Structure 1
Amino acid sequence: MEEKKEKPSTMAIRGRRKAIVMDPKSWMVFSETGESIIEDLDKYTIMRRTGLPARDLRVLDPTLFYPSSIMGREKSIVVNLEHIKAIITSNEVLIINSSSPFFILFLQDLQARVPRSNNIHKFTSVDNGMDGECESKKIMEEGSPLLQSRIDSMNIASKESFEDDTLIDVAETSDQKPLPFEFKALETCIESACACLEYENQRLEEEAYPALDELATQISTLNLEHVRHIKNRLVALSGRVQKVANQLENLLDDDNDMAEMYLTKKLDDCLVDQTSLKKGSNSNIAEDIDESDESNTFQYRFYESKPDVEELEMLLEAYFAQINGISQRMSSLSEYVDDTEDHINIMLDDKRNQLLQVTIIFSTTNVIMAAGIAVVGLFGMNVHIDLFDGQPRQFWATVGGTFSGCILLLIISIWWGKKRYILSESKQITNI
């Protein structure tokens, strides 16, 4: 008898699924002191550490596709922009490692913006185990001149931020209020996403304009296929740029969403409230609590009606203008593609009209030749007439008359076609 295979029980399947869900992921943790380490954290550890619900963590899952989004929560900010999937808190940034070259630039930007600590730690890449400097050199050898110049500028900026003590002293002694840590990290995320879109847009422009000009000069299957791929890339990139622009615009339109991103301010207000409650005496605790509740309610209503988000608003407006600039350049490229398509359609219509005119001329010629063939057929009949008894000159006169009549009919047909605008001289269109 055949042995029956035991099916796995429901509890075993649930345990296996639970083990898959509980499998930790590698996160790059960047603190406000400039230190960066790699930690293996599971979903529930992240939820306890950042105060985020499970549905917000699904936005950062690399295996799932979610549109670009920036969400402010009670204790953290969730950022999902292009190659950046990060969680920003008031004192650290948790980043999912990416293989994109712009991820290295993003870490360099973040390390340059955060004030240095006593011990400088270099970040490492999880994917290949190389440090940031070696990875940057590798990217410079394989990348384009635009990406190389970007890396050079970021290396210089990070070197100056770490070596020039006088600039740091001037920044610390200046009257301008420094940005909180979460805004520095958020600005770095948005700037890196804008740089990525700018780089891809410039590469697309460098490839698109020559290809379109070549297609306008010579219409071929290879050129048409090349332009088709370029147009597909343009549509995809336009959608990505529009998603980032829409997200920034939605944030700028909603002051309450921007107010949720003031993590440091909310933390300071919470500490101040706790300190004020502890300082109250036992005799007037109830009165103080009632008064503080009323004042907090009034402040909350005023904060809800008109929150002070000018600092974050100015930061977002700058990058919103940059995204709009990229979108306008892509719109210009899209218009150029449409103009080239119109030009090609006009050229094809012109060629089609020429072919139709040639067809008409050949059809008319065939009809006239059929008339001459009819004359030849009449003389080829076995019928005795007086013309056959004449001299040879009569034969040649008949042949010449038939031939001349056909040519005369052809000329009259062409003249009549041009007079009726059925046939017209076609001029090749070179410029639009």
Structure 2
Amino acid sequence: MLPLSLGTVRSSLTITPRWSSLRKFSSSIPTFNTSSSSKNTAAILLHKNLLQRKNMLYGYGSGTVKCTVFDAFGVTGTQSMEMKRDDLVSTQGLLPRDLRKIEKSKQNDLVPSLLARKKNILISLLTIKALIKPDMVIIFDSFGSGISLDSRAHKTFLKDLQLRLRNQSTTELTQDPLPYEFRALEAIFISALSNLTSEMKVLLTVSQGILQDLENSITRDKLRFLLVQNKKLSAFSKKATLVRDMLDDILEQDDVLCSMYLTDNNYGTPRIHDDHSEIEMLLETYHSHVDEIVQMSENAISNVKTTEEIINIILDSNRNQLMLLGIRFSIGMLGMCGALWVGSLYGMNLENFMENSSFGFALTTGLGVIFMSFLYFKGIKQLHRLQKMSLLNSGKTEPPFIQMKK
């Protein structure tokens, strides 16, 4: 039989959704009866295809970005549509590095960011990644960051965003005088703060329950659960602090605040200097809410740490009591050693005047008890003296600095 040609090998390589099946398939390729050059070429092509498939599974370098687009009237098309990366960069006035935050943050996006350009605003806040223009909002797919497109939170966010972009008076909302881009920003901040508040309530409820249980009894399982909860509170506090720091940085930059007026920039009347009262008031409002969340999370962490310190003090006190009990037993054994020493002297096979006396045994026993009692009470008295602690000098001599003052 003739060896398989390169075209036959390439046509037989089909990419399956599972990485394990691709590895199994790739391991079976060297069994083909091909020449060395054909084997090397097929292996290189297979390796490239596998890498491309792996990148597409995680959205890296696939050339398309999944997103949901809202027009100027708040009307959305098909959710989770795909847009070419090159078209998105060229038509929306972006730079290739601007999309790096959107493409690379597929697992856990902790650090938020807000990039203000002349024609758009690119924001990445917790699970929401969006591109805002004066007449369009693009919500990028945040799958992999904890909230999927089919989740209830994401659907609620899209619904609220649509209502705010339409800017029609309803029973839930009144007509907002803010421009299009600020209404979109407000919807994003409301959704992010809602998620933070919900997560904070769950963490506070669980931590308070653990602290109340520890007041009744301290067990190993409760301490382990408290340690895990403390880690979650610390991670949440760090996340909320980063959001607050981002808002602080934006509020300190007048040029960034002025560049966020996309509608005015589109009409040729850009804001200059400190003419940004609307966006400043908007950001300060949500900054105060985030700061409150940060303070509450820090208070919860402080309560947990205080409880841990109290538990450590209690455990140290129990250890000290056990050590004192051991020392008392050691002192008792020392006293018994004194009595045994007297008895061993009496029991020696040596002639002495006490052997023929009828009071020898009683005298030896009395001496042993007296010696044992003396050693025991002397040791206990010294132990009690060591237990007393004072911040002042109990001796007759005064401290050196008092003597110098005199």
Aligned to 1:358: 325
Q: Identify the match of residue 3 of structure 1 among 17, 28, 35.
A: 35
Q: Once structures 1 and 2 are overlaid, which stretch shifts more, 27-36 or 1-10?
A: 1-10
Change (3 A) 1:30 1:8: same
Q: Normalising by structure 1, report the TM-score.
A: 0.71
Q: Give the Å deviation of 1:217.
A: 4.1
Matched residues in 1 for 2:367 and 2:338: separation?
A: 13
Shift of 1:373: 1.4
Q: Which amino acid aligns with 1:46?
A: L
CA contact (8 A) 1:83 1:103 kept: no
Q: What is the distance in 2 between the residues matched to 1:395 and 1:57?
A: 100
Q: Which residue does the alignment assign to 1:412?
A: 378
Alpha-carbon separation, structure 1, partners of 2:210 and 2:345: 61
How do residues 124-273 of structure 1 correspond to structure 2 at under 5 angstroms?
A: 160-161=171-172, 171=175, 178-269=177-268
Gaps of 5+ in 2: 1-32, 143-147, 390-406
1:89 paired with 2:133, answer: yes
Letter in 1 for 2:120: S
Partner of residue 380 from structure 1, selected from 347, 351, 354: 347
Question: Which residue of 105, 114, 124 corresponds with 2:156?
Answer: 105
Q: Percent identity?
A: 29
For the structure 1 residues 13 and 374, does the alpha-carbon distance in structure 2 shift closer, same or farther, using more than 3 Å as the test? closer
Residues 216 and 344 of structure 1 are in contact (CA less than 8 Å); yes or no, is this contact kept in structure 2? no
Residue type of the alignment partner of 1:81? L
Q: What is residue 296 of structure 1 aligned with on the other side?
A: none
CA contact (8 A) 1:417 1:423 kept: no
Normalized against structure 2, the TM-score is what?
A: 0.75
- Cα distance in structure 2, aligned partners of 1:240 and 1:423: 47
Corresponding position of 1:340: 307
Mapped pair 1:80 → 2:124: yes
Query: Which letter maps to 1:412?
Result: K
- Corresponding residue to 1:422 among 387, 390, 400: 387
Change (3 A) 1:268 1:13: farther
1:355-400, Cα deviation, whole Å (9 max, x unpaired): 2322221221121111111112212221122322222x54234224
- Which amino acid counterpart does residue 83 of structure 2 have in structure 1? L
Q: Report how many aligned residue pairs link the two structures.
A: 338
Q: Which moved more, 1:246-255 or 1:24-33?
A: 24-33
Higher relative contact order (CA 8 A, sep 6+): 1
Match for 1:29 among 69, 83, 99? Answer: 69
Distance in 2 (alpha carbons) for counterparts of 1:355 and 1:85: 58
Q: 1:285 corresponds to which residue?
A: none
CA contact (8 A) 1:215 1:223 kept: yes
Query: SS at the partner of 2:351?
Result: coil
The match for 1:150 is none
Which 4+ stretches in 1 moved above 6 angstroms?
A: 9-16
Question: Does structure 1 residue 326 correspond to structure 2 residue 377?
Answer: no
The SS at the match of 1:269 is coil
Higher helix share: 1
Q: Which residue of 1 aligns with 2:361?
A: 395
Question: Residues of 2 paired with 1:79 and 1:409: CA distance?
Answer: 79
* Distance in structure 2 (CA, Å) of the matches to 1:10 and 1:416: 83
Q: Check whether the contact 1:76–1:90 (CA below 8 A) recurs between aligned residues.
A: yes
Secondary structure at the aligned position of 1:86 is classed as: strand
Whole-angstrom CA distance in 2 between matches of 1:85 and 1:77: 11
For structure 1, the residue ranges without an aligned partner over 5 or more in a row are 118-157, 162-166, 172-176, 271-299, 425-432
Q: For 2:375 and 2:124, how far apart are their aligned partners in 1?
A: 77
Structure 1 residues 211 and 66, CA gap change in structure 2 (3 angstroms): closer
- Cα gap change, 1:6/1:196 in structure 2, threshold over 3 Å: closer, same or farther? same
Give the letter aligned to residue 48 of structure 1: S
**Alignment partner, residue 63 of structure 1:** 106
> CA shift at 1:85, angstroms?
0.9
70-79 or 343-352, which deviates more = 343-352
Distance 2:217 2:110 in 1: 41
**Match of 1:203, as an amino acid?**
V
| Alignment partners' CA distance in 1, 2:43 and 2:165 | 52
2 CA distance for matches of 1:36 and 1:2? 54
The answer to whether the 8 A contact 2:339-2:372 is kept is: yes
